[in-house]
Amino acid sequence: MSLTTHRNKQVPVTLLTGFLGAGKTTLLNRILSEEHGLRFAVIENEFGEAGIDSDILVRSEEQIVEMNNGCICCTVRGDLVRILGQLAQRRDAGEIGFDRVIIETTGLADPAPVAQTFFVEEDIGRAYRLDAIVTVVDALHAGQQLDQHHEAQEQVGFADRILLSKTDLVTTEEAEALVKRLNGMNARASVGLVDFGHTDIAQILEVGGFNLDAILEIEPDFLQDVAHEHDDDISSFVFRSTRPFAVGKLEAFLSTMLTEYGADMLRYKGVLHVAEMPARVVFQGVHMMMGSDLGQPWRDGEARASVMVFIGRKLPQDVFLEGLEGCLA
């Protein structure tokens, strides 16, 4: 299948979803850096008050809009309608150009209310077409997430495409068992693999897979207002500082926190200012798995700062914030 530039009235939209830490932003980076000749408008939503992913995304000419003052499926759905409307107006006026829209939801989003937007909001429905819901599933943590979180189940149930990430961290038998479980939850969606964002882009961007009749079979009330609330046990907090981290202290502290609270640390990530490092350090983790990479170099005269976001179940915020303060150089 070849990817073609769309010039018709309705702009195709890909809804990229998946539970916390599944690898959505890594996949999005891959899509943005692929040579396909398409231009994208990207809408990023994060759970919590601070956005990190725009710093992790590749530098590009894409239109990237952040929504980090709530979850896209409930508190800020009105913002989504407003942003999509503004993008359409600016595109029609010739101020910006894009061929497709990708909406990356927070890992705690129920995709149903987001998908609803394209059917119950008349102006949005005229300007956009929901092409597909693509769900990234973390092969290592999926069993636990599907058992414990309704949102993870909904993300699989509504998917038109399911992409398994981190299959290198599980056995072949475990991967096969997970695929069987996913097929049982959603027989409509094909299951593929994504390896550090690498997958067949054509299978993601021109799916034509969102079928309203099929969705109404799973959820007859889909077109009605869906009240959605998150588990009160799950919350997020942010650490910020303009002082640099001492890398040894930070590694020791985070290692202690993982030992103590790793099971409840659903997702944590940040862009760090580390002493004597010429570039940002991009830090990410899910439960007990943590890693870091060098990001964009700091520019001359640029204000350097660290921002870290933690999402978890009943995490002791004061312990984390005070401990991180003690890791500063």
Q: Are the C-beta atoms of residues 213 and 188 closer than 8 Å to each other?
A: no
For residue 199 the two structure tokens come to 């997958």
Specify the pLDDT at position 223.
56
Residue 94 CB burial class (10 angstroms; 0-12, 13-18, ≥19): exposed
Q: Buried b / exposed e across 256-292, counting CB within 10 Å, b at 16+? A: ebbeebbeebbbbbbbbbbeebeebbbbbbbbebbeb
For residue 321 the two structure tokens come to 């914030």
Q: Are the C-beta atoms of residues 294 and 269 closer than 8 Å to each other?
A: no
Specify the pLDDT at position 77.
66
- Whole-angstrom Cα distance, residue 300 to residue 303? 9
Specify the pLDDT at position 108.
83
* DSSP helix/strand/coil, 313: strand
- Whole-angstrom CA distances from 124 to 63, 100, 131, 233 are 18, 14, 14, 34
DSSP state of 263: G
Tell me the backbone φ, ψ of residue 206, rounded to 5 degrees.
Answer: -135, 70
Specify the pLDDT at position 228.
53
Q: Are the C-beta atoms of residues 273 and 280 closer than 8 Å to each other?
A: yes
Tell me the backbone φ, ψ of residue 99, rounded to 5 degrees.
Answer: -100, -25
For residue 124 the two structure tokens come to 């949005």
DSSP state of 154: H
Along the chain (329 residues), what's the average pLDDT of each consecutive run of 10 residues? Answer: 47 92 86 82 69 49 56 61 90 89 87 81 88 93 90 87 94 95 86 86 75 62 56 74 94 92 84 91 82 86 89 88 95
- Whole-angstrom Cα distance, residue 210 to residue 288? 35
DSSP state of 13: E
Q: What is the pTM of this model?
A: 0.69
Specify the pLDDT at position 257.
93
Specify the pLDDT at position 60.
46
Specify the pLDDT at position 21.
85
CA distance from start to end of the chain: 53
Q: Domains (ranges, CATH) in the chain?
A: 11-218 (3.40.50.300), 234-325 (3.30.1220.10)
- Whole-angstrom Cα distance, residue 96 to residue 62? 10
Specify the pLDDT at position 2.
35
Helix ranges restricted to H, 93-241: 111-120, 122-127, 142-148, 150-157, 172-185, 202-205, 212-218
- Whole-angstrom Cα distance, residue 53 to residue 36? 22
| Neighbouring C-beta atoms of residue 5, cutoff 10 Å | 10
- Whole-angstrom CA distances from 211 to 123, 140, 205, 216, 320 are 20, 30, 16, 9, 44
